[in-house]
Amino acid sequence: MATDEREVREIRLDPVVPTESVLVSTVRNLRPRKKEQPAPRDTRSQVKECPFCAGNESMTPQAIAEYREQDHWTIRIVENLYPVLSSAAQGTTFNEGLRQAIDGYGRHEVIIDHHNHGIAIHEMTEQHLGRLFSAYQTRMTELYRSDPRLRYVLVFKNFGPAAGASIPHTHSQMIALPVIPENVQAEVHFSAAYHRQHHHCVYCALINDALSFTATVYDRETGESQRQLHVDTYVVEKSEHFIAIKPFASRFEWEIHILPLNHQADFIDVPQEMLLDFAGVFRNTMARLDAVLGGAQYNYFLHTLPHNFSEQNYRHSYHWHLEICPRTSIPSGFELGSGLHVNTVSPEAAAKQLREIQLQTLTG
Ligand SMILES: [Zn+2]
Ligand SMILES: [Zn+2]
Ligand SMILES: [Zn+2]
């Protein structure tokens, strides 16, 4: 088992989805990946030609929802001008030999996270982030209610060109799909299988493991064994209700997952006061990433209980979470061809580095 200082060269299986694996290889000359170029962040608060900036509301479709503070909006939800799925489609399927397809039915919306064009997530207040997560919840609920054909609402954010963001103004997106995405399907499936075997949630087990990691060490000289306790090896941030963990089988060097400490399947069920606590953990985590990476380009996405498919069966086995995946390198042919992710920073060392960042300047 790797400790945080020595070289690591291990193929690690994802504890939830064992069909996913990652090669953790910190050996310098084995690095098969190309470093992503850091992009300078656009820190302007207002940009004349930006369609998401205050004053340019006429450049976007009409707002679906608007959250206001005093005389201006702070969060705005609009339809995506270039939707990848359309509500005008019929939702029909066709089969032709080996070719099967479902009509591209769905919704694609943009959440303009903040009126300030270039503000970073960790620069937003906890109150604002709490409102943003609450806006996600409200819109997800409305979408599920609006059409029973929608099976999953994926909330995600691309930030920075390396993460696929085409408009620099801070925004997240919501895509309502007629299918359950494969990643979520796999997590739901494997966590249910784990639950059938062990009678508890695999994510809860991972949290317990992260909080109290024990290993048995044998002394070569005396042959004696001792229990060693490494507490918090994988913990990046923790609050009353949430924990930010560096996954043991992290696909990306600086990947972090945030989960509720107590079992909860559906993000929509999180009460308001808990959302504020979530905002705090999320903001600190993003500040740590920003400090370590010197400006992070990243994707984050919410994995939560899918609706409209005998969801009751999975309430005890599935556990919602937010996955944050900073983009620091470009996948190589080896990764694309093998499906094996390559991570060149040991998750143990990364967690330590993230944890050791001093956050005093953030408080208040
Ligand atoms: Zn803007
Ligand atoms: Zn759980
Ligand atoms: Zn997930």
Average pLDDT, the chain: 88
Cα angle 339, 289, 239; round to 5: 105
Q: Which ligand is nearest to the CA of 301?
A: 3
- pLDDT of 89 strictly over 70: no
Could you tell me the two tokens for 77? 């939800």
**Lowest-confidence pick of 45-59, 69-83, 221-235:** 221-235
Q: What is the CATH number of domain 13-26+44-362?
A: 3.30.428.10
| Calpha distance 272→142 (Å, rounded) | 17
Distance CA 256, CA 286 (A): 10
Distance 95 CA to ligand 3 centre (A): 30
The residue type of 272 is: Q
The predicted-structure confidence for 299-349, as pLDDT tens digits, reads as follows 999 999 998 666 667 999 999 999 999 998 888 888 889 889 999 899 999
CA of 254 from ligand 2 middle (Å) equals 23
113-171 pLDDT, tens digit each: 999 999 999 999 999 999 999 999 999 999 999 988 889 999 999 998 888 888 899 99
Distance 249 CA to ligand 1 centre (A): 36
Distance 64 CA to ligand 1 centre (A): 18
> Which of the four pLDDT bands, split at 50, 70 and 90, describes residue 363?
very low
Q: Which ligand is nearest to the CA of 192?
A: 2
- With 0-12 / 13-18 / 19 or more C-beta atoms within 10 angstroms meaning exposed / middle / buried, residue 303 is buried
Q: Which ligand is nearest to the CA of 243?
A: 2
Which residues lie near ion ligand 3 (Cβ < 5 Å)?
A: 303
pTM of this structure: 0.90
**Å from CA of 364 to ligand 3 middle:** 31
Whole-number Å distance, alpha carbon 155 to ligand 3 midpoint, is 12
Distance 48 CA to ligand 1 centre (A): 8
> How many residues can be counted in the chain?
364
Ligand 2 geometric centre to CA of 197 (Å): 15
pLDDT tens by residue, 173-183: 999 998 899 99
Residue 151 to residue 304: CA distance in whole angstroms: 12
Question: What residue ranges do the domains of the chain occupy?
Answer: 13-26+44-362
